[in-house]
Amino acid sequence: MITAKADALIFHEIEPVFRFVALDFPKNYPRWSPEVSKLEPLTAGPVQPGFQARQIRVDQGHKTDSVFEVSEMIALRRVIFRGVTAPYVSTYEFDDLKASTRLTFTFELREVEARLRPFEKLIRIALEDGAKRTVKRLKLLIEKEMLDDW
């Protein structure tokens, strides 16, 4: 298993940050993750445990197609997406700091294919860079959007 983790301090209260990341996920995820070339909700209704979506991503020229689901959602605390057709877990955690929110993103690649194991160190570096980019993009998008709403 390879784990990458990054966090950011977002200068907004927790409720709009949680809404942007978790509740409005189908609309906003491709905005903070431009590697997503297609996102297709497979479940009607709100984002909640059991919600499923299919994504097509192009990461460093490598195209992947996977289905994932919300495996856990605790309002204003955490949302966890688990790969259904691929061995990964993405966790977004929210810490209420009153006028700001600490957002922590963790990505776990639960299994590395045997043919890719010699490249595990490079995979780890790429995942760590990706986690940092994710929280940086989220911070910029959320703070800009909230500023625009003023």
pLDDT tens-digit map of 38-81? 999 999 999 999 999 999 999 878 899 999 999 999 999 999 99
Cα 21 vs. chain centroid, distance in angstroms?
Answer: 8
Report the percent of the chain where pLDDT is more than 90: 77
Helix (H) or strand (E) holding 40: strand 36-41
The CATH number for 2-148, chosen from 3.40.50.300, 1.10.4030.10, 3.30.530.20, 3.40.50.880, is: 3.30.530.20
pLDDT value at residue 50: 97
Q: How many CB atoms lie within 10 A of CB 49?
A: 12
18: helix, strand or coil: helix
Which of 108, 102, 110, 113 is CA-nearest to residue 131? 108
Which whole number is the average pLDDT over 22-38? 95
In the block, tokens 């590395």 appear at: 112
Q: How confident is the model at residue 125 (pLDDT cuts 50, 70, 90)?
A: confident
